[in-house]
Structure 1
Amino acid sequence: MRSGPIIAGLLASTACSAAAYCAWVRPWVMTWGATDEEVAAALPGDEFLPDADGVATRAITIDAPPDAIYPWLAQMGPSPRGGAYTYDWIENLLGLDMHSTDRVLEEFQHPVVGETIGVGPEASRIEIADPGRAFVTRTTDGDWVWSFTLVPDGDSTRLISRNRFRLPGLGKKLAMIPMEPGSLIMERKMLHGIKERAEALAHAG
């Protein structure tokens, strides 16, 4: 039995699936919850990686003022920081030592530019720490910028999360395709986790 036609068929099927994902699914994956205006907007942190290979802009409405949301952003990170408010068990399978807290940790409420969060290749440097407005980090290799922007919306706030990333080499670009849906699952849980904590904090006065 000749394997050539089978391999060619598999390659063609994979190419078609990838094309369908990029055309129909990827736009939703990369912009979950965000409006067209938010996706197109220039946000704090964009300037740190203007030539990004990819951008994910996701957002959620939180029934709380910005000052009830920012504390949860300021303390994010591995233990002893506040965690990432997502699926801790998945994070910790990767050795990230995340333990999401439901408390505001006062010792991490005054982040400063230049401070490093995490250790090793996963470490990020705080680039913007503007209470009630924006919180931005960049990995030490400069290939990933993660920004959170707080935009008042009546009595609520829009929390906009933007990931800008650079992927040197074709291999990393291809590897990112199956990772993108997974990143949405984790980030959607994170945004809802921040929403629940911020609304509880606001309602507690």
Structure 2
Amino acid sequence: MRTAVWKGIGGVALASAVAACSPPARRWYLGYGATAEEVARELPGDALLPYPDLRSTRAVTIDAAPSTVWPWLVQMGSGRGGVYSYDWIENLLGLDMHSADEILPQFQRLAVGDVLPLGPAGPGMRVEICDPERTLAFRSTDGAWVWIFDLNSYWLGTRLISRNRIATPDARWPRRLMNRIVMEPGSLVMERRMLLGIKERAEFSAPSAALLPI
């Protein structure tokens, strides 16, 4: 009986792994919220890591202008404004994330060349592009990760795209398989919460439509 139960559990795990690796599933969790055009679109910063092993493009529509969204992006980071995701998970990894619910003036000055820490032991994230209200792009100091935020005006709001480009040239097949089965779907959980966290904060802080000039 016990053997049958474990076989059943193993079968479910195997089926889940196969499903997670299927092309339709990967397209969904690596392109969550993004249109086919946004997934295919070339963004400023793509050339910083031209041949990634993993690329994700996720997006959200925010009912606030890019000028309202931008301050929430520039203050992101470990020991800064956090990343608006699940802090408790981030902090299990020692990343010192404490997501702010207000604009922090001390973290609003960001320039190309600035390096933000990613926890006490991780590589820093260097600012490579800082085009206010349009594009913010980081590259890890080890060169293996590029993270791009692209903002576009969308009716009366903003279309925010988050793109990750990651290189894993030395990963052996067990690690590549683990990335495919666990890390790729798991990244959607964290990044979806981040995008919604930015959306919630920006929309809450947006000027009231009644106060906008006619």
Whether these two folds match at TM > 0.5 is yes
8 A contact 2:115–2:124 mirrored in 1: yes
Deviation at 1:113, TM superposition (A): 0.7
Q: Which amino acid aligns with 2:135?
A: A
Deviation at 1:175, TM superposition (A): 2.6
1:108 matched to 2:110: no
Moved over 3 A (4+): 16-20
The aligned residue for residue 167 of structure 1 is 168
Equivalent-residue separation in structure 2 for 1:99 and 1:180 (angstroms) = 24
1:202 to 199, 202, 206: 206
1:70 matched to 2:70: yes
Q: Which amino acid aligns with 1:184?
A: L
Give the total of aligned pairs: 195
8 A contact 1:121–1:140 mirrored in 2: no
Cα offsets for 1:16-75 (capped at 9, x unmatched):
754543323111000000000000000011010001111100000000000100101100
Equivalent-residue separation in structure 1 for 2:99 and 2:123 (angstroms) = 18
Q: Which amino acid aligns with 1:59?
A: A
The aligned residue for residue 5 of structure 1 is none
Equivalent-residue separation in structure 1 for 2:144 and 2:154 (angstroms) = 32
The aligned residue for residue 53 of structure 1 is 53
Equivalent-residue separation in structure 2 for 1:17 and 1:198 (angstroms) = 36
Equivalent-residue separation in structure 1 for 2:111 and 2:95 (angstroms) = 22
The aligned residue for residue 147 of structure 2 is 146
Matches within 5 A, 1:11-90: 14=14, 18-21=17-20, 22-79=22-79, 81-90=80-89
1:203 counterpart SS class: coil
The aligned residue for residue 127 of structure 2 is 126
Identity of aligned residues (%): 52
Deviation at 1:133, TM superposition (A): 0.3
Query: Please, what TM-score do these two structures have when normalized by structure 2?
Result: 0.85
